[in-house]
Amino acid sequence: MTSNQYVSPAERGILIVLSGPSGVGKGTVCKALRGKAPELVYSVSATTRSPREGEVDGVNYFFKTREQFQRLIDEDQMLEWAEYVGNLYGTPRKFVEDTLAEGKDIILEIEVQGALKVRQKFPEGVFIFLLPPSMNELQNRIEGRGTESEESIRSRMSVAMEEIRLMEHYDYAIVNDQVDLACSRIQAIIAAEHCRKDRMVNKIKHWMAEVK
């Protein structure tokens, strides 16, 4: 990538981080959002968990062995990583940084532990917490997958309770009662964030400097 592909700091893209408890529908919302907002770049995470039916390597996740994942950590190639219910999840660093430098918005769909690590490195990002309509509905969604044992469901529900308590570290919270509504709310948040005066200050200074 050549340097002339990069934009000024005032025109950098926005990092949007979407997370929430397992089973809340993050993947479904992101899939629908990509259809409604094709200009958004979707960051594919890496994981050591096995693919679920229909998932494709490089599209849903980069599926890695634990040894491969550890090598990426050792080489500082992960923006963040976390262990969740026995599996590792993480975000490749370079792709995210290059996308922002090109002036494109990028959305990360990651677990709560990972989102909090990203917050430390990118405090200027926009952090959105996706909530279920209720805890009963969340359990129904997890059970509806048909891929989890009773013990796994209990574990995921326990983790979900702890994660919801961390919502205070986010900028926005959206209830995923209807996918289309959740997408519209996220789009509204992104539009509003682009209009924040602190994102416009450098651009306006540049405009004013051009006035003769």
User: pLDDT tens digits, residue range 27-39?
Assistant: 899 999 989 999 9
User: pLDDT tens digits, residue range 117-156?
Assistant: 889 888 889 999 999 988 888 888 777 776 778 887 888 8
What pLDDT does 176 receive? Answer: 94
- Whose CA is closest to 14, among 76, 90, 106? 106
Alpha-carbon distance of 108 to 104, in angstroms, equals 13
8 Å CB contact between 150 and 158: no
Q: What is the number of domains present in the chain?
A: 1
8 Å CB contact between 80 and 97: no
What pLDDT does 47 receive? Answer: 94
What pLDDT does 3 receive? Answer: 40
Q: Which residue has the higher pLDDT, 2 or 23?
A: 23
Grouping H, G, I as helix, E, B as strand and the rest as coil, residue 204 is helix
Alpha-carbon distance of 159 to 174, in angstroms, equals 19
What range defines the domain where residue 155 resides?
3-210
Q: What's 16's domain CATH number? A: 3.40.50.300
Write out the two tokens for 127. Answer: 């952090």
Could you give the percent of the chain with pLDDT greater than 70?
93
What pLDDT does 177 receive? Answer: 92
User: pLDDT tens digits, residue range 62-88?
Assistant: 999 999 999 999 998 898 988 888 999
